[in-house]
Amino acid sequence: MRGLLLACLLAFVGCGNTESERVPENAPFAILPVQNSRGIAEFSPHTAGPLDGRPYQYRVPSRYDKTKPTPLLLMLHGFSASGNMEEIYLNFSALAESKTFLYAFPDGTQNPVGLRFWNAMEWCCNFFKSSVDDVAYIRAVIADMQTRFNVDPKRIFVFGHSNGGFMSHRIACELSDTVAGIASLAGQQWNDPTRCTPKQHVPILHIHGTLDAVIAYPGMGGLYPGAKETVQIWAQKNGCGGRLTYSGDKKDLDAVLLGAETTVEKYTGCPADGPVELWSIQAGGHLPVLGKHFSSSVYDFFMAHPKP
């Protein structure tokens, strides 16, 4: 059943999709809000500031203890998707319950043709030149979660896919004093690296399919850099003195591709607070069929690199 659901989702999620998030009446499934033992919580509309009119969803694990600082993960969806749709694809809610971390998945705003997007970088995906400030919005989401819960300030992480991946890189550039690390699936850095000016080092995990036909692994000249160039930019920002090196480790992240298809490369000579890794899904596309180890592998990277 999950395989059928995922196959259906592939028609809707990701940068470059031309469909809105509205599900056709004859769809073989329904995209419903994801529930857990603590239910869904949304804001009442705010009347001022970046959260005005932009409620977001979050999950509180059943073993949350308000006396203990708890990690927070924000997930940013792909172009034309939504937090709910991307959550069905990624299934971080189940991991939040089992690992006991707070989890928020906000929505981007809708463009004039009804497609949700994040105002991330030059090419992806503010196609109608909106003035929305999504950096301020995400900063406000984090701050609001901190007022509601006992968020560990050393373990605030951001994961993004596609357009959300571009946005996660931008968050690392502009909110390096807040986030402890980011992971991007199929999203790249600024085409002009001088626009990325982090105040602190940020642990970076970049994941990309080598056969991605939407956001090309080698990059697109004049539009966005490639996966290896993206991590090279971060290695320079984080002060890594070495080079990108195969670690000898392989991971099985894609449930369709045979074996452990993902190679793990790491920059050597990085400071303890600024590791940079590239996980290349060999023969993987823009929407890999994520296996059961994907979300836990990403979270293990995060938890290994809290802020000093």
Q: What is the CATH number of the domain that holds 42?
A: 3.40.50.1820
What would the mean pLDDT of 254-269 be, rounded to a whole number?
97
CB 230 within 8 A of CB 247: no
Q: Which two tokens stand for residue 124?
A: 């992806």
Question: Does residue 218 sit within a domain?
Answer: yes
Q: Is residue 238 a part of any domain in this protein?
A: yes
Residue 138 lies inside a defined structural domain of this protein: yes
Range(s) of the domain holding residue 106: 2-303
Does 248 have pLDDT greater than 50?
yes
Reported as a pLDDT band with limits 50, 70 and 90, residue 10 is very low
Q: Which residues pair with 109 in a beta bridge?
A: 117
In a domain, 308, yes or no: no
The reply to whether 100 falls in a domain is yes
> Residue 12 — pLDDT band, cuts 50, 70, 90?
very low
**pTM: predicted TM-score of the whole model, two decimal places:** 0.88
Is 128's pLDDT higher than 60? yes
Using CA atoms, how far apart are residues 269 and 271, in angstroms rounded to an integer? 7
CA separation for the pair 110, 183 (Å, rounded): 24
On whether residue 271 sits in a domain, the answer given is yes
The total number of structural domains in the chain stands at: 1
Work out the average pLDDT over 167-183: 98
- Give me the pLDDT at residue 192, please: 93
